[in-house]
């Protein structure tokens, strides 16, 4: 993995933070993944002290949790977290659409390109990219407002959404059903029908929130039947393994010294989709 790129005006810890957040959005770091400072330091070309600073910042963004004498792990979200995220999405995304009258041609082109990439991923059966692509579409919507502050806030929301999608048993089936609605919203924005686009987006987010919550509850029931009954207030995701438990997630490389991984996905209240398909994602 290449070292974190340090942009002008940001610290090495902030650069590592942004790299970790991008990996969460890409589905590489699932809920419960152990984040070992030595591994983070090696992967991102920073010192262990800088890696610890980056992990503290990641926890401050609600993307990681710290357990005394255990360390950091990627956070698992509870249903109340999903409701909170969707409340923020309604304000940020709908407001961005309504304020998009001054958006440049390049920003509008990004909207179309994001949906086109996701449609291509669906046709190719690349389900892990479907979730990432849908999130990229919604990030492009927020950029229409021309506010770097909103963009930064939504980057954190997008990463948290990915954590919600990661615990859905069949993300591909969940995500794919939203792509046509992404396209519908994109076409309304591109045609200048901002009020209609905002209305379609509001309905989309309502349906998405309900679907994500339903999917998380279903995943919770599956774990309970499998003998993994969580506490009543436990988040709807995997608990981080305790010290000495070598729980890994194939495909990811931040963990207790061994590669681990995850799949991405995006959508509704944090997500959903139809059609039986391998794991994917949605926004």
Structure-model confidence comparison of residues 211 and 168, the more confident one: 211
Is 114 a residue whose pLDDT tops 50? yes
Q: Give the closest residue to 267 by CA, choosing from 217, 215, 218, 223.
A: 215
Burial of 45 (0-12, 13-18, 19+ CB in 10 A): middle
Q: Which pLDDT does position 106 carry in this prediction?
A: 96
Q: Which pLDDT does position 220 carry in this prediction?
A: 81
Residue 72 pairs in a beta bridge with 35, 66
Tens of pLDDT, residues 27-68: 899 999 999 999 999 999 999 999 999 999 999 999 999 988
In order of their start, the domains of the chain are 12-77 (1.10.10.10), 80-220 (1.20.120.530)
What DSSP letter does each residue of 10-48 carry, written as one string? --HHHHHHHHHHHHHHTTSS-TT-EE-HHHHHHHHT--H
Structure-model confidence comparison of residues 133 and 92, the more confident one: 92
Q: Which pLDDT does position 7 carry in this prediction?
A: 58
Token readout for 33 is 């993944």
Tens of pLDDT, residues 219-271: 788 878 877 555 444 454 444 433 233 333 333 334 433 333 333 343 443 33
Q: What is the mean pLDDT of residues 70-80?
A: 92
Q: Which pLDDT does position 5 carry in this prediction?
A: 57
- List the helix and strand counts (H, then E) for the chain: 10, 3
Q: Which pLDDT does position 228 carry in this prediction?
A: 56
227 C-beta neighbours (distance < 10 Å), count: 6
Residue 125's pLDDT band (cuts 50, 70, 90): confident
CB contact set of 227 (below 8 Å; sequence gap of 6+): none
Unique residue bearing structure tokens 């009954």 = 229
Q: What is the mean pLDDT of residues 167-179?
A: 80
How far is Cα 75 from Cα 71, in angstroms, rounded to an integer? 12
Decide: 203 and 116 in contact? Cβ < 8 Å: no
| Residue 273, Ramachandran bin (φ over 0: left; ψ between -120 and 50: alpha; else beta) | beta
What are φ and ψ of residue 71, in 5° steps? Answer: 115, -155
How far is Cα 233 from Cα 210, in angstroms, rounded to an integer? 20
């Amino acid at each position: 993995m290449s070292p974190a790129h340090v942009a002008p005006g940001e610290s090495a810890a902030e650069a590592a933070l942004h790299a970790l957040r991008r990996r969460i959005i890409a589905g590489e770091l699932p809920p419960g993944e152990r984040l070992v400072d030595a591994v983070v330091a090696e992967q991102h070309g920073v010192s262990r002290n800088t890696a610890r600073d980056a992990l503290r910042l990641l926890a401050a963004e609600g993307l990681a949790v710290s357990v005394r004498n255990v360390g950091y792990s990627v956070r698992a979200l509870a249903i109340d977290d999903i409701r909170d995220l969707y409340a923020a999405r309604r304000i940020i995304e709908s407001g961005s659409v309504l304020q998009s009258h001054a958006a440049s041609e390049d920003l509008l082109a990004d909207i179309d390109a994001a949906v086109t990439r996701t449609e291509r991923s669906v046709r190719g059966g690349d389900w892990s990219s479907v979730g990432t692509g849908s999130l990229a579409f919604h990030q492009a919507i927020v950029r229409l407002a021309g506010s770097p502050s909103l963009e930064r806030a939504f980057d954190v929301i997008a990463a948290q959404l990915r954590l919600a999608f990661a615990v859905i048993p069949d993300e591909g089936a969940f995500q794919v059903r939203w792509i046509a609605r992404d396209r519908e919203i994109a076409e309304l924005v591109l045609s200048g029908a901002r009020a209609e686009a905002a209305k379609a987006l509001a309905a989309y987010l309502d349906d998405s929130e309900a679907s994500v919550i339903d999917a998380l509850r279903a995943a919770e029931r599956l774990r309970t039947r499998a003998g993994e009954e969580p506490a009543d207030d436990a988040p709807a995701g995997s608990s981080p393994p305790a010290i000495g438990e070598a729980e890994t997630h194939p495909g990811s490389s931040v963990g207790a010294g061994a590669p681990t991984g995850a799949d991405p996905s995006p959508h509704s209240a944090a997500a959903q989709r139809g059609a039986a398909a391998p794991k994917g994602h949605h926004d």
